[in-house]
Amino acid sequence: MEPVEHKNSAAKVGFVSLGCPKALVDSERILTKLRSEGYEISPEYAGADVVVVNTCGFIDSAKEESFGAIQEAMVENGKVIVTGCLGVDEGAVREITPDVLAVTGPQQYEQVVAEVHKAAPQPHDPYTHLVPEAGLKLTPRHYSYVKISEGCNHRCKFCIIPSLRGDLVSRPIRAVLREAEKLVEAGTQELLIISQDTSAYGLDRKHAAEDWKGEQIRAHMTDLAAALGDMGVWVRLHYVYPYPHVDDVIPLMAEGKILPYLDIPFQHASPKVLKAMKRPANDAKVLERLKKWREICPEIVIRSTFVVGFPGETEEDFQYLLNWLGEAQLDRVGCFKYEAVEGAAANELPNPVPEDVKQDRWNRFMETSQRISAAKLQKRVGMEMAVIIDEISEEGAIGRTYADAPEIDGKVYLEGAQELAPGDMVMAYILEASEYDLYGHMVADEDPDDDGVDDDWDW
Ligand code: SF4
C-alpha cells in the first residue's frame, strides 16, 4: 500500500469503537493521541484515509460483531487497522480479512498510532495545543470513564481476559488522580471508575503512596475513592469484588463523598458454582456484609451481573441463587446465559447445561429480579431526587439518579424540561415507576427566577 500524501489538509482517520467501557477508554486514548498530532477524525468510512477498528473478542457474539465491522470497513474503505481484544489472534483476523493493514492487540496505543502514521502520514499541524487538555472523549462530556488498571490476577474459568490482557498492572495513583482532575476541569460531572477488578487496585504496586496536593495517597481503592470524592463530582465505582477492605468505602458513601453505588459482579450465589467458576472473594459472607453496609449507608444501591447455566449448575444450585437474590434484594441486576468462550478453561468442564434449561432459568431469574427492581423503584415515588441530565428528547429530558450508571441501568424521564442540557443537575419529583425506570418532573422552585438547575446538588 502506498502512503497517502497530504500536503494541504489534515489526514482523516475513521474510527469504530466496539466493546466494553475498557475498550472505550483505549479508543479515547488513541483518538486523543491522533488528534493531538493533527489528524482529523472522520465519522464515515468514505473519505477517511485509514480506518481503525477497535474490536471486542470476549464472547462469540462480540467477535461476530467485530468481524462484521472489519469486513464493512474493508468494503467501504479498504485501508483498515485492527486493534483491541480480537487483535490478540491475528491469524483469525487475517483468515477472514487477509488484506487489513495491521493487527494489534489491546492497549497497544503506540503501535496503532505508528500504523496510522504509515498509512496516512502525520500532517504538519500547528494547532496541537487546541486539543482539549482532558483528551478527546467518545462519551458525552458530562461523564467519563477512568480506567485505573489493566489485566487481572484471577483466573475465573469462564473468562479469557487474563490471557488477553495479562496480570494486573495498576496505573500510578497520581496519574489516575491527574486524569480525573483534568476531566473535571473539562466539564465532567461524573467519574466512572473501571478496571477488571477495582478492589485489587494497587496490589501490584504494593499500594505505594505518592504525593498528591501535599498528602501521601496510596495506590489503594479506599485512598483513591477518598481523593476522588474531594473533586466535587459524582464518583461511581464499578467492578468491585467484595474483599474485606470494601467495607472501608461505605463510610465515604454515607458521608456523601462518593456515590452510594457499588457494582459488584457476583455472577452466582451457590458456593458450589462459585467454586467451579473459581471466582475471587467467593467465601465472603455476602448477605451479612450487605446488611451491614445498608445499616451504615441506607441509600446504598448494589448492581450486579449473574450467569445462569454454567456447566454443572443443577436446579438446586439455581434455586439457591434465586433464594439468595430474594434475600439480597439487589437494586440493579443483569443476567447472561452462559456462553462458551474460545480458550476459556470452563469449556473443559463436564455437564453442560442444555440451552432450553438455560433459557428457562434465565426467564425465572429475570422475573425475580424484575419484581425486586419494581418494588424498590416504587419506594422512590413521591421522593425528590437529584438527576443528572443525559439527553433531551421531544417529550422532555432524560437523566439518571445516583442509583443508575449510564448505559447499563435505568433512566428518569422528566416531562417538559426541554430547556435543560446534558450535564445539568436538577432536582426531580418522582411521580411514577416502572420495573426499571422512573418518571417525574422538575421541582419548581418558589423563586420565579430560578432556572430549576440545581447548582448545589446532592442526592
Ligand atoms: S476477575 Fe475473573 S472474570 Fe473478572 S477479569 Fe479477572 S478472571 Fe476475568
Q: What separation in Å is there between the alpha carbon of 146 and the centre of ligand 1?
A: 18
Question: Which has the closest alpha carbon to 137: 291, 244, 224, 30?
Answer: 30
Q: Which residue owns the Cα nearest ligand 1 atom 4?
A: 196
Q: Tell me, what's the pLDDT at 132? A: 56
Which of 161-165, 176-180, 332-336, 370-374 is predicted with the least confidence, judged by mean pLDDT?
161-165
CA 49, 24, 155, 309 dihedral sign is negative
Q: What separation in Å is there between the alpha carbon of 263 and the centre of ligand 1?
A: 14
Q: What separation in Å is there between the alpha carbon of 262 and the centre of ligand 1?
A: 17
Task: Write the CB contacts of 80 (distance below 8 Å, at least 6 apart in sequence).
Answer: 50, 51, 52, 53, 70, 73, 74, 97, 100, 101
pLDDT at 99 over 60: yes
pLDDT at 135 over 70: no
Question: Which has the closest alpha carbon to 218: 197, 200, 202, 234?
Answer: 202
Q: Tell me, what's the pLDDT at 150? A: 87
CA distance 416 to 392: 9
Stretch(es) of the chain classified as CATH 2.40.50.140: 384-442
Q: Which residue owns the Cα nearest ligand 1 atom 5?
A: 196
| Pocket around ligand 1 at a 6 A CB cut-off | 152, 154-156, 159, 161-162, 196-197, 280
Question: What would the CATH number be for the domain defined by 384-442?
Answer: 2.40.50.140
pLDDT at 282 over 80: no
pLDDT at 104 over 80: yes
Q: Tell me, what's the pLDDT at 28? A: 83
Q: Which CATH number fits domain 12-130: 3.10.310.30, 3.40.50.12160, 3.40.50.300, 3.40.50.620?
A: 3.40.50.12160
Give the tens place of pLDDT for each residue, 377-394. Answer: 999 999 999 999 999 988
100-128: average pLDDT: 77
Question: E strands, 346-450, where?
Answer: 384-392, 396-400, 412-415, 425-433, 438-442
Give the tens place of pLDDT for each residue, 137-167. Answer: 777 779 998 989 988 998 988 888 888 888 9
Cut 0.75: pTM above it: yes
110-115: average pLDDT: 86
97-116: average pLDDT: 86
Nearest-atom index, ligand 1, CA of 152? 6
Q: Which residue owns the Cα nearest ligand 1 atom 8?
A: 159
Mutate to test the pocket of ligand 1, among 150, 195, 197, 264 (most ligand atoms within 8 A of CB): 197
The DSSP string of 99-150 is T-SEE--TT-HHHHHHHHHHHSPPPP-TTGGGS-TT---SS-TTEEEEE-EE
Q: What separation in Å is there between the alpha carbon of 280 and the centre of ligand 1?
A: 8
Task: Tell me the percentage of the chain whose pLDDT exceeds 70.
Answer: 90
- 446: which 3 cell numbers? 418558589
Q: Tell me, what's the pLDDT at 455? A: 47
Query: Cβ distance 236 to 224 under 8 Å?
Result: no
Query: Cβ distance 368 to 326 under 8 Å?
Result: yes
Q: Tell me, what's the pLDDT at 1? A: 32
Question: Which has the closest alpha carbon to 373: 430, 302, 288, 312?
Answer: 302
Stretch(es) of the chain classified as CATH 3.40.50.12160: 12-130
Q: Tell me, what's the pLDDT at 20? A: 78
Stretch(es) of the chain classified as CATH 3.80.30.20: 143-378
Q: What separation in Å is there between the alpha carbon of 188 and the centre of ligand 1?
A: 29
Query: Cβ distance 334 to 305 under 8 Å?
Result: yes
Nearest-atom index, ligand 1, CA of 239? 4
pLDDT at 451 over 80: no
CA distance 79 to 76: 9
Mutate to test the pocket of ligand 1, among 85, 150, 161 (most ligand atoms within 8 A of CB): 161
Residue 298, Cβ density class (10 Å: 0-12 exposed, 13-18 middle, ≥19 buried): exposed
CATH topology for 143-378? pyruvate-formate lyase- activating enzyme (3.80.30)
Mutate to test the pocket of ligand 1, among 56, 156, 274 (most ligand atoms within 8 A of CB): 156
Nearest-atom index, ligand 1, CA of 162? 7
